[in-house]
Amino acid sequence: MIITLCAVLVFGVSQGKRWFTPLAQPQAYKLNPPKYFGDMVYDISSNPLTAEGIALGRALFYDPILSLDSTISCATCHSSYTAFSHVDHALSHGIGDTLGTRNALPIQNVGWHKTFRWDGGLTHLDAQVMAPLHNATEMASNLPLVFKRLRHSDYYPALFEAAFGDTSISTRRFIDALVQFQLILISNNAKYDSVRRGEAKFTAQEKKGFKLFKRNCASCHEPPLFMNNDFTSNNLPVDSSLMDLGRYRVTQRPQDSLLFKTPSLRNIEYTYPYMHDGRFNTIYEVLDHYDANVMALSDEEQTEIYAFLLTLSDYSYIRNPDFAFPH
């Protein structure tokens, strides 16, 4: 019987006929970050990237059906055109115009982050995926509801099958897909990077600005990612209407009161307003704040630092069609 079966298969192949539909394998997707970024924090072997997984994650990222009333998506507060931040909104908005308590952080180079959110309450990218989905002032949704919608949609079962081999929709797969899409959001093509690669040169003003930056800012905003995966005081008084004590909320240690995660300064030009509660609208306001509390810079020096900060703008990142709304 085995011999017969083999003969049939061989015959089938020899005649150019297809006796069965082979399962299409998801295509592996290789990240190519610059070496000077160092090792990723995220263990990518636990969630190997595939083109299909990323496509599914991208579809989910831009789909408002994740929110309770199907009005907002991840992209509502994380627009690709502003380095996945919520530009012009001091505090993020949720469904029904509910107002959050913090400024939405940009999404970029998340594979190198050890903690997430301004208070670092989430220590794994996988966990971050579910936070806005459940937050009452963001999507106010829940996984059972979302999965029900996904299962009844016209196209998600097929997207899950393409990414994972069958149409089953689970928490693990949901997380993996959204994480895969976010992992490819690597910003590494600013002028700073071109200089680093030897393809461009800073202007004299930028060069002076970088020197000042290294002396005054880089201890927290460490190049090349311009963050330090740590929490620091930004010397801002607490907003009495928000009473956001930052890291203290997570640890309840007095010494952590008013510490906030150091945000990356990459693409800072696009991600206004600034600080954890978005209280500053311009980079100069931020510089004035630190100038009054920590640094002592002349107007000219402020301008030089500003010029350097603009070299962290990655236009190719914010205009990458692979990151934008999927058509």
Partner 1 sequence: MRLVFFLILISASLTAQNLHLKVNAHEVEMEVFMLYIGEVSKYGDITYELYDLSAQSSLDLPYTSSMVLGVDSTSQVISSFEGIFDPLQGMYWTWQNGYIAVKMEGKYLGEEFVYHLGGFREPFVCYHIIELAEHSLLTIDLDAFFESLPSDISRHIMSPGSEAKTVFDTFVSNVLLD
In whole angstroms, the minimum distance from the beta carbon of 138 to partner 1 comes to: 10
The alpha helices in the chain, defined as continuous H runs, are 2-14, 51-61, 74-77, 125-128, 131-134, 143-152, 156-164, 171-183, 191-196, 204-216, 248-251, 283-293, 299-310, 315-318
Binding-residue total with partner 1 (CB under 8 A): 21
> What's CA 36's distance to the chain center, in Å?
19
From CA 247, how far away is CA 258, in angstroms rounded?
7
Q: What are phi and psi of 24, to 5 degrees?
A: -75, 130
Any contact of residue 288 with partner 1 (CB under 8 A)? no
In whole angstroms, the minimum distance from the beta carbon of 247 to partner 1 comes to: 11
By beta-carbon proximity to partner 1, the closer residue of 191 and 261 is: 261
In whole angstroms, the minimum distance from the beta carbon of 117 to partner 1 comes to: 8
Any contact of residue 244 with partner 1 (CB under 8 A)? no
Find the part of the chain contacting partner 1 (CB under 8 A) among 61-69, 96-104, 129-137, 210-218: 129-137
Any contact of residue 172 with partner 1 (CB under 8 A)? yes
Any contact of residue 135 with partner 1 (CB under 8 A)? yes
Any contact of residue 149 with partner 1 (CB under 8 A)? no
In whole angstroms, the minimum distance from the beta carbon of 56 to partner 1 comes to: 16
By beta-carbon proximity to partner 1, the closer residue of 252 and 281 is: 252
Any contact of residue 121 with partner 1 (CB under 8 A)? yes
> Which residues, 6 or more positions from 42, have their beta carbon under 8 angstroms from its beta carbon?
110, 111, 112, 125, 179, 183
By beta-carbon proximity to partner 1, the closer residue of 43 and 322 is: 43
Nearest to 88 by CA among 273, 219, 242: 273
Count of C-beta atoms within a 10 Å radius of residue 260: 23
**Side-chain half-sphere CA neighbours of 138 within 13 A:** 22
Any contact of residue 130 with partner 1 (CB under 8 A)? yes
By beta-carbon proximity to partner 1, the closer residue of 104 and 212 is: 104
Any contact of residue 114 with partner 1 (CB under 8 A)? no
Any contact of residue 148 with partner 1 (CB under 8 A)? no
Among 126, 161, 244, 288, the residue binding partner 1 under the rule CB under 8 A is 126
Among 168, 170, 219, 316, the residue binding partner 1 under the rule CB under 8 A is 170
Would residue 110 be called left, alpha or beta, if left means φ above 0 and alpha means ψ between -120 and 50 degrees?
Answer: alpha
By beta-carbon proximity to partner 1, the closer residue of 42 and 306 is: 42
Any contact of residue 122 with partner 1 (CB under 8 A)? yes
Any contact of residue 151 with partner 1 (CB under 8 A)? no
Nearest to 234 by CA among 162, 321, 319, 292: 292
Give yes or no for a contact between 31 and 44, defined as CB atoms under 8 angstroms apart. yes
From CA 173, how far away is CA 242, in angstroms rounded?
36
Would residue 58 be called left, alpha or beta, if left means φ above 0 and alpha means ψ between -120 and 50 degrees?
Answer: alpha
Find the part of the chain contacting partner 1 (CB under 8 A) among 79-87, 115-123, 301-309, 310-318: 115-123
Any contact of residue 175 with partner 1 (CB under 8 A)? yes
Q: What is the dihedral of CA 82, 83, 86, 89, to 10 degrees?
A: -60
Amino acid at 24: A
Binding site for partner 1 (CB under 8 A): 117, 121-124, 126-127, 130-131, 133-135, 143-144, 170-172, 175, 250-252
